Amino acid sequence: MIGPLTWLAERGSPAEAMTAADLGSVLFAASRAVHLGAVIAALILMFHPAANAYIRAAAGARARTRQDSDGRAAS
């Protein structure tokens, strides 16, 4: 993100960049955009109540499995 933002801050023209773009740079820009979207979606979904419930349930299952393997009675 720093490269494109620095270029824009130095008054780079998006129209000029589009005319000079080749297939490789377009594909690279598209992969950057998809990755950035995935990171933002992951950050949002990480705090969703369903994610919290899943993590709580998985931690409880791990604790029960650990108790069973230690020979203690499971609760």
pLDDT at position 44, please?
Answer: 94
Per-domain residue ranges of the chain: 2-69
pLDDT band (50, 70, 90) for residue 73: low
Phi and psi, residue 22, nearest 5°: -105, 180
pLDDT at position 33, please?
Answer: 92
pLDDT band (50, 70, 90) for residue 71: low
pLDDT band (50, 70, 90) for residue 62: confident
Q: Is 10 helix (H, G, I), strand (E, B) or coil?
A: coil
Query: Is 60 exceeded by the pLDDT of residue 68?
Result: yes
Radius of gyration of the chain (CA): 24
